[in-house]
């Protein structure tokens, strides 16, 4: 029986491919028949981080009518006067029957109604998640038998498109390639269709042999497709997630203008294909001044057309960011510095309000960093003002945070940074410290580009703008770094005074606390006391679920590093003492706050290395009174703890005690 009331499409919180919202059931790995490849996701714009992800939902999970195949919004062409319920108690029942009859007549009158009815019956079996692999293969084979040769005719229907998607997802590679071959010549139409656009991304992901043919169909229409409401996502997915370098170059080629858009890969030589891979650089190689001007003018015009239509969503796509980066790179190679500045400023003015929508990709981040490095003080102020509402989100994005780092590197107006950029970062310390990306943002004002926290690749990427800032920034780098550090220090030291004891119990938090204590400017006595008070609690902890800080390896390492006064350098084989932190003051506070009993208890257990560093620091920098106190504490300690000789670090502790 078919329900007479078309059910509206609903968003599911945890949907599964093609199936109705079934009850959660345990599916073992042996029976779960997963797709051939994991579904990748494009980088998410920072401007959308707080919004619903409905526009970026999994193409596998786009919903259709689960009941009778009538799309939402389709009218049933039923005379309302015929269906108006009467006082007769049987009137509602008769009206219900009339509706079903009219609906069935309407469906039967549509093309391929019998085919769709048969396909849906098989599809209902094939799309289930909790069936054995062999059974699914049988259902998919039956589904292929039904739709074979008819795919082009039914794929544009909203419900039939899901049937084809299921066959592509769960079918064998041969079956997928068969569907892809049957759809050849219609890929552009598929991408522009509200429902079949998801099939395009599936085919690009699961049928790599047909991806080039798909891209060649797109190529003459790329600029239109990028601005098309439905097709823009399909083109963006293919470019960013699935295309190789050569296929990406083909998709980018139409941005350079009509005279370079046409490129025949079938007859092109290897040299031509290699030039295509090099993008705009290959197009301009050997070009005269007039041709270079025409190509750059065409690229600029196409980019401006996209920027002038921000509602299409295409500004967020990596393909647009790559084209923009290539344009700026070519501008930097244009003759005449005045001409370079003019072209660069025109482009900045055209996309300035959209910068927050492009910082989340590698190319987009590089573009904004280029604008910051090349721009004037006024340009940088405007860019920071535009990005200010999104700084918190950018701080946790691997690519967008590089823009923040470059802003700290090149902006001479550190008062502007202290008012607009740094407060947003430091005020969100409690949200940022637990994730690696957030920690990098918190620590950059104190230890920029230090290899302990920043990978060589990240440092190399940031260094790309260093030659530029030598010409565009007047302030010396070391002075700028000192001013930025001084601006960020008070807030983070106050944060440690308030929450440092708890934050240091977290692995990532202990790293942040260590670096801020070592490198921040200002008075740190209160922060030291806040960190040492938890050590004074009885050892072992009375709560098994909440260990003593010294029993947490990362927290114990933090105290050891602070007593050392810096980090141990493997290159120099020595501790590099921080000039902005007093390890002797920390040791003195340790003696006063932690006390004898807890210190000796730590020396007998996991805190042996921490106590060893305490002894070393007092021995080297402590006063005579402090040395006397420690001698009194450890008098007879070694004799009464001979059984501890097998404890790791015990020999180090013995040597330190004997030095006293």
pLDDT digits (tens, 9 = 90+) for 393-450: 999 999 999 999 999 999 999 999 999 999 999 999 999 999 999 999 999 999 999 9
Of the three residues 243, 264, 289, the one that is the final residue of a domain is 243
pLDDT greater than 60 at residue 68: no
Burial zone of 232 (CB within 10 Å; 0-12 exposed, 13-18 middle, 19+ buried) = buried
Contact 194, 60 (CB under 8 A): no
Compute the distance between CA of residue 167 and CA of residue 144 in angstroms, rounded to an integer.
Answer: 7
The total of structural domains in the chain comes to 2
Residue 9 region by backbone torsions, left for phi larger than 0, else alpha for psi between -120 and 50, else beta: beta
Q: Which residue's entry shows tokens 């923040």?
A: 404
Task: Give the mean model confidence (pLDDT) for residues 514-541.
Answer: 95
Residue 359: predicted pLDDT: 97
| 390: DSSP letter | G
Which pLDDT tens digit goes with each residue over 41-63? 889 999 985 544 444 444 454 43
Average pLDDT estimate for 159-168: 89
**Alpha carbon of 650 to those of 428, 549, 568: distances in Å?**
41, 20, 20
Instruction: Report how far residue 658's alpha carbon sits from residue 616's, in angstroms, rounded to the nearest whole number.
Output: 11
pLDDT digits over 602-651, tens only? 998 889 999 999 999 999 999 999 999 999 999 888 887 776 667 788 88
201-240 pLDDT per residue, tens: 999 999 999 999 999 999 999 999 999 999 999 999 999 9
Whether residue 19 lies inside any domain: the answer is no
Among 227, 243, 259, the domain-final residue is 243
Distance CA 57, CA 51 (A): 12
Per-position DSSP letters for 260-272, written without gaps between them: HH---TTT--HHH
Q: Are strands 566-569 and 574-577 parallel, antiparallel or unpaired?
A: antiparallel
Distance CA 7, CA 474 (A): 65
- 246-273 b/e (C-beta count within 10 Å ≥ 16 → b): ebbbbbbbbbbbeebbebeeeeeeeeee
Question: Does a structural domain hold residue 79?
Answer: no
The parent domain of residue 210 ranges over 56-68+101-243
pTM for the predicted model, two decimal places = 0.85
At 600 the pLDDT is 93
Q: Strand pairing partners for 415? A: none
**Residue 415 belongs to some domain of the structure:** no
Assess if residue 76 is contained within a domain. no
Choose one of 243, 258, 281: the last residue of a domain.
243
Distance between CA 643 and CA 510 in Å, rounded?
32
Instruction: Classify residue 642: in a domain, yes or no.
Output: yes
1 domain-assigned: no
Mean pLDDT (whole number) for 450-462: 96
Does residue 326 form part of some domain?
Answer: no
pLDDT in tens, 113-125: 777 888 888 899 9
Asked if residue 94 has pLDDT above 80, the reply is: no
Mean pLDDT of the chain: 86
| Phi then psi dihedrals of residue 68, to 5 deg | -115, 0
Q: What are the residue ranges of helices labelled H in 23-172?
A: 80-83, 91-109, 113-126, 133-147, 151-154, 158-170
Residues whose CB is less than 8 angstroms from the CB of residue 656 and which lie 6 or more positions away in sequence, other chains included: 612, 615, 616, 619
Separation of alpha carbons 598 and 230, rounded Å: 67
Angle at 457 between CA 558 and CA 443, to 5 degrees: 35
pLDDT at 82 over 80: no
- Residue 20: inside a domain: no
Distances (CA, A) of 352 to 315, 382, 413, 572: 12, 8, 20, 47
């Amino acid at each position: 029986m078919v329900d007479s009331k078309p059910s509206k499409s609903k968003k599911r919180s945890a949907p599964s491919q093609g199936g109705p919202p079934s009850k959660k059931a345990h599916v073992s790995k042996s029976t779960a028949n997963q797709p051939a490849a994991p579904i990748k996701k494009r980088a998410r714009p920072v401007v959308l981080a707080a919004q619903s992800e409905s526009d970026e939902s999994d193409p596998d999970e786009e919903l259709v009518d689960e009941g009778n195949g009538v799309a939402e919004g389709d009218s049933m062409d039923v005379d309302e006067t015929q269906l108006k319920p009467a006082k007769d108690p049987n009137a509602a029942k008769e009206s219900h029957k009339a509706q079903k009859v009219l609906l069935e007549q309407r469906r039967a009158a549509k093309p391929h109604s019998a085919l769709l009815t048969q396909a849906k019956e098989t599809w209902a079996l094939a799309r289930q998640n909790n069936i054995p692999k062999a059974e699914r293969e049988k259902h998919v084979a039956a589904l292929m038998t039904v739709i074979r040769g008819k795919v082009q005719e039914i794929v544009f229907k909203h419900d039939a498109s899901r049937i084809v998607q299921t066959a592509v997802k769960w079918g064998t590679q041969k079956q997928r390639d068969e569907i892809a071959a049957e759809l050849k010549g219609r890929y552009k139409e598929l991408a522009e269709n509200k429902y079949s656009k998801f099939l395009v991304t599936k085919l690009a992901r699961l049928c790599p042999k047909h991806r080039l043919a798909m891209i060649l169909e797109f190529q003459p229409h790329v600029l239109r497709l990028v601005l098309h409401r439905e097709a823009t996502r399909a083109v963006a997915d293919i470019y960013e997630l699935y295309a190789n370098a050569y296929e990406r170059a083909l998709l980018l080629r139409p941005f350079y203008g009509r005279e370079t858009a046409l490129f025949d890969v079938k007859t092109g030589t290897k040299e031509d294909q290699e030039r295509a891979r090099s993008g705009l650089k290959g197009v301009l190689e050997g070009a005269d001044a007039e041709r270079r001007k025409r190509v750059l003018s065409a690229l600029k015009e196409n980019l401006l057309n996209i920027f002038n239509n921000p509602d299409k969503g295409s500004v967020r796509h990596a393909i647009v960011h790559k084209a923009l980066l290539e344009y700026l790179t070519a501008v930097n190679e244009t003759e005449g510095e005045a001409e370079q500045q003019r072209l660069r400023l025109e482009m900045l003015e055209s996309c300035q309000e959209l910068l927050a929508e492009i910082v989340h990709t590698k190319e987009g981040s590089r573009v904004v960093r280029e604008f910051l490095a090349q721009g004037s003080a006024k340009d940088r102020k405007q860019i920071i003002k535009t990005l200010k509402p999104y700084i918190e989100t950018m701080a946790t994005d691997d690519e967008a945070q590089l823009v923040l780092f470059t802003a700290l590197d090149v902006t001479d107006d550190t008062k502007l940074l202290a008012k607009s950029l740094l407060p947003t970062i430091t005020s969100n310390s409690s949200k940022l410290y637990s994730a690696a990306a957030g920690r990098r943002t918190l620590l950059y004002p104190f230890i920029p580009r230090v290899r302990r926290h920043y990978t060589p690749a990240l440092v190399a990427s940031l260094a790309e703008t260093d030659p530029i800032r030598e010409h565009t920034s007047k302030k010396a780098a070391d002075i700028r770094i000192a001013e930025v550090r001084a601006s960020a220090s008070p807030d983070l030291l106050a944060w440690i005074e308030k929450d440092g004891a708890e934050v240091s119990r977290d692995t990532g938090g202990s790293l942040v606390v260590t670096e801020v204590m070592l490198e921040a400017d200002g008075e740190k006595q209160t922060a030291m006391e806040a960190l040492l008070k938890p050590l004074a609690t009885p050892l072992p902890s009375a709560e098994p679920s909440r260990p003593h800080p010294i029993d947490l390896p990362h927290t114990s390492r933090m105290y050891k590093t602070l007593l050392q006064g810096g980090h141990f350098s493997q290159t120099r084989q020595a501790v590099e003492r921080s000039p902005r932190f007093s390890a002797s003051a920390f040791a003195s506070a340790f003696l006063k706050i932690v006390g004898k009993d807890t210190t000796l208890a730590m020396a007998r257990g996991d805190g042996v290395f921490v106590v060893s560093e305490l002894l070393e620091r007092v021995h080297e920098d402590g006063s005579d009174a402090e040395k006397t106190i420690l001698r009194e504490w450890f008098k007879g300690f070694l004799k009464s703890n001979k059984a501890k000789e097998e404890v790791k670090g015990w020999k180090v502790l013995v040597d330190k005690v004997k030095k006293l």
